[in-house]
Structure 1
């Protein structure tokens, strides 16, 4: 993982030479693995060109890369430290998002979300979905009770993230990072996540402090930055979600009539 403050990394991502080195084969939006070089330093990034965005029925065309940047600004302003540094800039295929690559840690780290037989759920883990394999064997989706994972769940509620898969969660030392926030920050309630283990429970004080910090930031210039990336109603809806979390002080419950868990879950 490259060192430096987020502001320093943002500068490198925004001004360094962007060179594609590969393509993410399973990406639905043409994501590229690139190297950004700034002098002698180079960092790996994920670049998502706006021109490659897949058309969606519930999000306006050409807005996903801006939502990636907006999610980073929200995460950073609140001190959630979940979304890696992300900028918007021109690349080999035009404008797109550039996000610092958070690679896998060495060895075989304990997963944060897993699909197992009912009898194999790790102690303390929370089951969020039951199902069965194609041959009829019962399985469940569960997630770890990790405090840093809970912080991700709070940020997802703020962002109205509609695609929090297990594969979008990355260990980064003691932190849990999250990627792929292009389908977030909608006006309509769309929270769809594998992290429902705390639904309805009180939000920890340290996470409420992050939400409060975000509220102060929204009134202290963050709004201006977000209005360059989102519509006025979308920024207003963000305000409303922040206020609701601070008022209820509880993790939200699934929205009736909307699928609660993305598919595939991992």
Structure 2
């Protein structure tokens, strides 16, 4: 139902979403009598980057959803490509309503780190306060971190992780931990930059190994889902990453010879 609404719902533009790096707009879709919010990122509004090909970020957003769905990870909100939107072709992603207790990733004083969190790094604010960024080590956030390994996410900021649901709902079954803003993914060079380093050295679960094996095999069905969004080199790099992770058998540690935290990290 949600994918149907994204693909065919009548849209009304509500305005720009502030503080976004690229043109990002909020739309409301009308589908079968239900109003659904969605985030629209037109290809025409993408700023050129030195390390990602021009006009590919919306395609990477869609590839991220398709990979997450194919592997049954459920960490990327439903996302489609549409041509009939106000600024032309672009990605359209279901809006995630954050829950009131959304504390998957937190910034707190040193003596106020939540008991179920692991600290990642410390920082000092302009007014001299010492703070620590930490994150939960639960299965929901682990699934996002695992997805980012495969997708080679170059920009997993704290604000790109939301605990909530894609449709207004109070049912626990409809809620989860989602990774949004997945445009800087699938580069064929190592680019992983994330705040979710708390799972380093954790051995992969059986279902994670199965997912890695599926990507390493890259059957025609999976290739077909991704090939209209990613280049042949990027698909090959995705397979290589899966094979490397299989050989390692655990979440990698942060590399010491390159930047591994996105900026800004929040």
**More displaced, 160-169 or 218-227?**
218-227
Within 2, Cα distance between the matches of 1:58 and 1:257? 18
Partner residue, 1:3? none
1:92 corresponds to which of 80, 83, 86:
86
Deviations 1:129-148 (Å, cap 9, x if unpaired)?
Answer: 12212233322111111211
Where in structure 2 are the equivalents of 1:99-178 lying within 5 Å? 99-105=93-99, 108-172=100-164, 173=172, 174-178=175-179
Q: Deviations over 1:153-206 (max 9, x none)?
A: 000000000111111111134521111000000001111111001112212333
Contact 1:78 1:212 in 2 (8 A): no
Residues matched between the structures, number: 256
The runs of 5 or more residues in structure 1 that have no matched partner are 1-7
Change (3 A) 1:51 1:171: same
Corresponding residue for residue 35 of structure 1: 28
Say whether the 8 Å CA contact 2:215–2:238 is kept in structure 1.
Answer: no
Distance 2:258 2:227 in 1: 27
Whether the aligned pair in 2 keeps the contact of 1:79 and 1:213 (CA below 8 Å) is no
Report whether the alignment pairs 1:70 with 2:63: yes
TM-score, normalised via structure 2 length:
0.91
Q: Which among 53, 60, 64 is matched to residue 46 of structure 2?
A: 53
> Could you tell which deviates more after superposition, 184-193 or 219-228?
219-228
Aligned to 1:5: none
Corresponding residue of 2:197: 196
User: Is residue 30 of structure 2 the alignment partner of residue 21 of structure 1?
Assistant: no
Q: What's the secondary structure of 2:198's corresponding residue? A: coil
Q: Secondary structure at the match of 2:188?
A: coil
SS of residue paired to 1:11? helix
- Residue number in structure 2 paired with 1:180: 181
For 1:226 and 1:235, the matched residues in 2 are separated by 8
| TM-score after normalising by structure 1 | 0.91
SS of alignment partner, residue 134 of structure 2: strand
For 1:56 and 1:158, locate their aligned partners in 2 and report how far apart those are by CA, in whole Å. 22
Q: Distance in 2 between the 1:140 and 1:201 partners?
A: 22
Partner Cα distance (1:20, 1:171) in 2: 25
Moved more, 252-261 or 115-124: 252-261
Cα contact 1:189–1:255 (8 A) shared by 2: no
SS at match of 1:33: strand
Structure 1 residue 100: Cα displacement: 0.6
